[in-house]
Amino acid sequence: MIPFNKPYLTGNETTYIEDAVSRGKISGNGYYTQKCQHFFEDRFNFKKALLTTSCTDALEMCSMLANIEQGDEVIVPSFTFVSTALAFVRQGAVIKFADSCGDNPNIDANKIEELITQRTKAIVVVHYAGVACNMDSIMALANRYNLIVIEDAAQAICSNYKGKPLGSIGHLSTFSFHETKNIISGEGGLLVINDDRFVDRAEILWEKGTNRAEFFRGNINKYGWVDTGSSFLPSDIIAAFLWAQLENIDTIQKKRLEHWYFYHSELTEWAKSKDIKLMAQPNEETNNGHMFYILCQSQNQRQEIINHLRDNDILAVFHYISLHSSKYYKDKHDGRILENSDKFTERLLRLPMFFELNPAEVTRVLKTFSI
Ligand SMILES: *Cc1c(COP(=O)(O)O)cnc(C)c1O
């Protein structure tokens, strides 16, 4: 069976975990945590990086940092993972769901302004499949209306927009190291703070509302409870695992991109003959090989392709169900129809993508699909 995803281990994960254990400090903010955070800050030009236990937790920290209060409005794409909206809903926000672009699932930057009201506090964008949203117009809009921009860059590590790393553009950003992402630690995430206003408070929320991190730096002689927060920081054992991945980030990225370009070139003719659209080839700087998807003609055709691949021991999977029509949110949604989001819900299909994949096998089977 060719799975949809298979977590890749570089070989050094357990070595570094053993080292973390032997260092005797395995709670958060230890040796490997610091190493990983500095790596992100140096390589991607992030002002401040804090490891978290998940991207979901990092998004919850964004919601707290943005001071979301009951009834505040947050603009979120509908075609995304639950956490992009949930983190703000927990804090009392009303979600204004935005539609995707016609030709890719990213938020349509031209349709955001009409959703802004007196109560709007933040715009959350998702770089779907690691492909950059239109950040120039989103940041310009945010400046005009004094809104906070949060990049949900869960899928977007090593991807850029006009020369800038994704995650370095919004006021706040989040990444995921869930085992389905390019760089993994089982569960894990990262909060990025690019705006000075949020740096000190982020560290406090991260450490259960205490100024403990500052205490450990020796800046104050005792620490105490100064704000809200939670236990958002991972054990140093998780960071040790992550470090083994980060050391190999270039090898991992290179291989995934090879798979991506193989799929794209080998399937172009086939897709044309079946009236199927391949994921558009993004500008090279904004392709990180996170995902390769196709857009089928219909939901039925998608199911037939899924069945055909499954009959040949290959697992291909669809993706999000529009959040505005989810069981939890549909009664709270304002009723607007989001046709592009629904189109991707019904017709998008993701092909297997992981380090040890042989994409030639998937391609060969797809080419035998004959309806
Ligand atoms: C994976 C993902 C998340 C959630 O990440 P976790 O680390 O599992 O919390 C959030 N948003 C997007 C867009 C994702 O792809």
Atom 8, ligand 1: which residue's CA is nearest?
178
- The Cα–Cα gap between 172 and 103 comes to 26
Closest atom of ligand 1 relative to the 83 alpha carbon:
10
**Is residue 181 flagged as an active site residue?**
yes
Could you report the per-residue pLDDT of 330-365, keeping only the tens digit for each?
A: 999 999 999 999 999 999 999 999 999 999 999 999
pLDDT given at position 41: 98
**Segments in 126-248 forming alpha helices (H):** 135-145, 199-206, 212-216, 236-246
Residue 371's pLDDT band (boundaries 50, 70, 90)?
Answer: confident
Could you report the per-residue pLDDT of 27-84, keeping only the tens digit for each?
A: 999 999 999 999 999 999 999 999 999 999 999 999 999 999 999 999 999 999 999 9
Which of 81, 82, 151, 322 is the best mutation target for the ligand 1 pocket, counting ligand atoms within 8 Å of the beta carbon and taking the most? 81
Closest atom of ligand 1 relative to the 177 alpha carbon:
7
**What residues does ligand 1 touch, defined as CB less than 6 Å away?**
54-56, 80-81, 83-84, 126, 152, 154-155, 176, 178, 189
Residue 213's pLDDT band (boundaries 50, 70, 90)?
Answer: confident
Cα distances (Å, whole numbers) of residue 119 to 74, 147, 263: 9, 10, 45
Domains (range + CATH), the chain: 13-246 (3.40.640.10), 249-370 (3.90.1150.10)
- The Cα–Cα gap between 43 and 357 comes to 27
Region 163-187: mean pLDDT is 98
Average pLDDT score, the chain:
97
DSSP label at 307? H
